[in-house]
């Protein structure tokens, strides 16, 4: 079965840039979404189609996808961005989520 691999944790200082990676076989040939989940809350879509932002998502969130790796980048990271982040893609009509990355804003 298809797998997406994320680092368990990423730390960033306020105002700096955070990068969260998601790896999978030929992932660049698939569309990747990213979801933000804060404790006790439902996930929120922050990036779809690799790099598109839904309405209401701040411009500091951006995405890219090439080769075997997709990346979520948060520029000028704020304390409110501290959360778990999950990548997601489709493989043969099967939904696949990465294991999640806990972003800590120190």
Contact with other proteins (CB under 8 A) among 3, 90, 104, 106: 90
Does 85 sit near other proteins (CB under 8 A)?
A: no
Stretch of residues binding other proteins (CB under 8 A), selected from 17-25, 40-48, 63-71, 74-82? 40-48
Stretch of residues binding other proteins (CB under 8 A), selected from 10-18, 21-29, 48-56, 75-83? 48-56
With vertex at residue 29, the alpha carbon angle to CA 24 and CA 59, rounded to the nearest 5 degrees, is: 85
Q: How far apart are CA 81 and CA 38, in angstroms?
A: 9
Q: How far apart are CA 16 and CA 75, in angstroms?
A: 6
């Amino acid at each position: 079965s298809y797998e997406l691999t994320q680092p368990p944790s990423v730390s960033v200082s306020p105002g700096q840039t955070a990068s969260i990676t998601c790896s999978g076989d030929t992932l660049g040939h698939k569309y990747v979404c990213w979801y933000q989940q804060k404790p006790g809350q439902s996930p929120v879509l922050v990036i779809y189609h690799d790099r598109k932002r839904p309405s209401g998502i701040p411009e500091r969130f951006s995405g890219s996808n090439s080769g075997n790796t997709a990346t979520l980048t948060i520029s000028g990271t704020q304390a409110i961005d501290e959360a778990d982040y999950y990548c997601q893609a489709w493989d043969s009509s099967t939904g696949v989520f990465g294991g999640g990355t806990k972003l800590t804003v120190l």
